[in-house]
């Protein structure tokens, strides 16, 4: 009788168990990303690129919640592919117990707990809110200090007010443009009618 594998049942070389989704209150780590990638590969039976795309979409939810600008999706996918290929090369050499192999494995394992950093190259300049900037910096540190809180309702309302003001401004400009067209048409027609009156005199 075959049993179905659940998240966490399969142990992946150097990474640990697979996970069906990224959880927690921090931005995703390299370990979380690879754990979900392997779940998508083994359980969902997706190709490596499709798995990477799916993981990136999941990661972007966390980054959007933190209001931190990110790289374009294809760049994020390439970052996952690079991590996967690095893992693959280590796995191929796993039987060789040389000093170099062991050092490479230690370095890989230590990097797993760091942030899967997909922030925009100029994120620190783009971010307006100091709290968001501090969150990104703390998540980049060893141990990924800090966590994502709930949705900042003040910020959401402020953004809504800004959007409303922009729409109102656009409406005023459109009305002003429309009324200036009407005035121009009226002036043109009144000049034409006065010109015809002069001819008839």
**Could you list the pLDDT tens digit for every one of the 201 residues in the chain?**
444 545 556 899 999 999 999 999 999 999 999 999 999 999 999 999 999 999 999 999 999 999 999 999 999 999 999 999 999 999 999 898 899 999 999 999 999 999 999 999 999 999 998 988 999 999 999 888 878 766 566 666 777 788 888 889 999 988 888 877 776 666 666 666 555 555 554
Q: In whole angstroms, how far apart are CA 167 and each of 24, 34, 129?
A: 37, 43, 24
Rounded to an integer, what is the distance from CA 182 to the centroid of its chain? 46
Backbone phi, then psi, for 115, in 5-degree steps? -60, 135
Q: Where are the domains of the chain?
A: 11-148, 152-184
Between CA 167 and CA 17 the distance in angstroms is: 49
């Amino acid at each position: 009788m075959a049993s179905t594998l659940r998240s966490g049942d399969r142990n992946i070389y150097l990474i640990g168990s697979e996970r069906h989704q990224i959880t927690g209150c921090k931005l995703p780590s390299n370990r979380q990303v690879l754990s979900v990638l392997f779940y998508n590969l083994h359980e969902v039976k997706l190709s490596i690129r499709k798995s990477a795309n799916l993981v990136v979409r999941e990661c972007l939810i966390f980054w959007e919640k933190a209001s931190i600008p990110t790289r374009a999706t294809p760049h994020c996918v390439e970052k996952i592919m690079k991590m996967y290929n690095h893992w693959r090369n280590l796995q191929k050499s796993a039987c060789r117990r040389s000093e170099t192999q062991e050092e490479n494995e230690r370095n890989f394992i230590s990097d797993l707990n760091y942030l899967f950093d997909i922030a925009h190259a100029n994120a620190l300049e783009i971010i307006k809110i100091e709290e968001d900037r501090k969150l990104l910096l703390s998540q980049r540190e060893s141990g990924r200090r800090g966590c994502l809180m709930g949705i900042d309702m003040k910020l959401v309302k402020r953004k809504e007010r800004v959007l409303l003001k922009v729409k109102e401004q656009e409406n005023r400009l459109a009305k002003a443009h429309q009324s200036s067209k009407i005035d121009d048409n009226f002036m043109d027609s009144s000049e034409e009618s006065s010109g015809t009156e002069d001819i008839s005199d």
